[in-house]
Amino acid sequence: MTVPWLRRGKGRPMAAPKAVWPILAVLAVLLAIPVWGMLPQLTAPSEFWEIVKLDKYLRDTLLLAVGTGILALLFGVPAAWLTSTCQFPGHRIFSWALVLPLALPGYLAVYGYHDVLDRASPLILWMRDNWGVAETRDLDERMRVVVLIIIFSSVLYPYIYLITRASFRRQAASVIEASRLLGQGAAGTFRRVALPLARPAVAGGTALVLMEVLNDFGAVSFFGVNTLTRGITRFGFDMDDKACAVRLSLILLGLVVSLMVMERLARGRARFSEGASHRPLTPWKLKGVHAWLATVFCLVPLSLGFLVPGWRLLELARLAAASGMPTGFWAAFRNTVLLSGGSALGITVFALLLAQAVRLQRGLAGRTAARAAVTGYGLPGVVIALAMTLGLIQLSKALGIGLLAGTLTGLVLAYAVRFLAVSYQPLESGLQRVCGSLDDASRTLGVGPWRTMWRVNLPLLRGPLAAAGLLTFLDVLKELPITLLLRPAGFSTLATRAWDLREQNLLPDACIPAVVIALLGIVGALWLHHSVEKG
């Protein structure tokens, strides 16, 4: 019996089934829409480009990114080492509690620090009277950047913490114990052995932190810091100068691409280290002052990123709820559940079909599709919102249909571009690790690839499917700039409702939807921790 799909000869795969090409074509169209929209604006005249203070936008963006990256490294890497290799008061609790700041997006965490600059008002007034207005203005701008750096680093360090902790736990116990035999303590082993081995993890986690900083729109708007994302929104949507916004978007994309290149260069040829021995490491038992210093060190980022802002959000929400739920809360809650659930379901199903299509199409088209599927997650939300708005306008004109921009259809398409990687990567990994040679065994019995996926692969992919769906649901739930800029008129989610209420100076009311988002975010943070711990 001649069985298709098996490798023959010198390892060249047989031709993929025809059903693969429509899936790859859908991906190509999905990614082409934003590109199609931005291209005409590259040569279009701009009304406000000459007055853009580009140096100021670049300065604030780079200061915020570099400062956050450095402080997040100082929070995340030592905490990962302490919780994975040392015993000290509370180390078991900190091992999972340190991921909780991921439950609070930056644009919500700032609500817990809404009055931090007001406390410095006496100093600012004194400086204005004694130093002058210009110097006081400069100091105020720098203080806003510093406060944002502290907030961002305290809510984003878990990206570094999770990946680096996993790397430390995978390192062979024999390597660490050899360092001990040579007279190195916990600090020396960390500096000379474990940290160099964990370099790929540190570089990857730091890149994620910096991408989140470059993507942020809500927190920088709250504190009035002029980053590129704020400039794109101001000129592209408030002033309706799309050409100017596209130029700022290209500069921001240049920073993102440069970040990816630097991360790759930082890793070099290194890979995530995995020791040959998987026996658990005998931890160092810290005693006395060192033990309590470790506890205090882990408590600082947890408090700054979760305990303090979370408690303040709860207090403000409690005060607001005493007089009733804010107007539109239940409608926003219903919209959030339906939109996030429907988007997560659709994106996860498409990601599964795409992952299977990439496996079947092993040539250049499959490799290109695999890379393209994960590019959207690195793009800032405001750039995707701008590009999808322009692309959907062009698509509506080409098809002769009603305007797709400002509809739920356009919103879900933008989510697909942004979050396809969130669903695709666990499913692609699951198909490789879980299914393996079972596909070939099924095909030798004459079962086609898609029927094999339905009858063999799907029952084995319950874990990856649940992870992909849940993480996509939570990412859509917390997404602000895409939803805010592409939503239909009168349509609100919890994220946009919190934003609208805060814009109306109703911060206590805004904290009610913020608390709901944070509670759901805790589920996602703990799930992510569990997944990383289980490998």
Residue pair 415/350 in contact by the 8 Å Cβ criterion: no
Closest CA to 430 of 351, 527, 371: 351
Residue 271 backbone dihedrals phi, psi, to 5 degrees: -130, 165
In the chain, where are the structural domains located? Answer: 15-44+327-505, 46-318
Contacts of 496 (CB under 8 A, 6+ apart): 332, 480, 483, 484, 487
Residue pair 286/94 in contact by the 8 Å Cβ criterion: no
**Which CATH class, in words, describes the domain spanning 15-44+327-505?**
mainly alpha
Exposure string of 511-520, with b = 16+ CB inside 10 Å and e = fewer, is bbbbbbbbeb
pLDDT of residue 6: 44
Q: CA angle, corner 122, sides to 121 and 125, nearest 5?
A: 85
Cα-only R_g, the chain:
25
What is the Cβ-side half-sphere exposure of residue 183, based on CA atoms within 13 angstroms? 0
Which residue shows structure tokens 């979760």? 306
Closest CA to 169 of 91, 80, 291: 80
Write out residues in the chain with pLDDT < 70, as ranges. 1-19, 119-124, 126-130, 132-133, 171-174, 177, 179-186, 267-281, 434-449, 535
How many angstroms separate the CA atoms of 123 and 136, rounded?
A: 10
DSSP state of 326: P
How many angstroms separate the CA atoms of 301 and 278, rounded?
A: 30
How many angstroms separate the CA atoms of 411 and 408, rounded?
A: 5
Tell me, yes or no, if the two domains 15-44+327-505 and 46-318 fold the same way: yes
Which residue shows structure tokens 């007001």? 118
**Sign of the CA dihedral running 238, 239, 242, 247:** negative
Residue pair 153/77 in contact by the 8 Å Cβ criterion: no
What is the Cβ-side half-sphere exposure of residue 385, based on CA atoms within 13 angstroms? 23
pLDDT of residue 446: 63
How many angstroms separate the CA atoms of 27 and 275, rounded?
A: 38
How many angstroms separate the CA atoms of 247 and 245, rounded?
A: 5
How many angstroms separate the CA atoms of 427 and 461, rounded?
A: 8
Counting runs of H as helices and runs of E as strands, what totals does the chain give?
Answer: 26, 2
Residue pair 19/5 in contact by the 8 Å Cβ criterion: no
Q: What are 452-504's pLDDT values in tens digits?
A: 777 777 777 778 888 889 989 999 999 999 999 999 988 999 999 999 999 99
Q: Is 374 helix (H, G, I), strand (E, B) or coil?
A: coil
| Whether domain 46-318 has CATH 1.10.3720.10 | yes
Q: CA angle, corner 370, sides to 426 and 520, nearest 5?
A: 35
pLDDT of residue 442: 66
Identity of the residue numbered 176: I
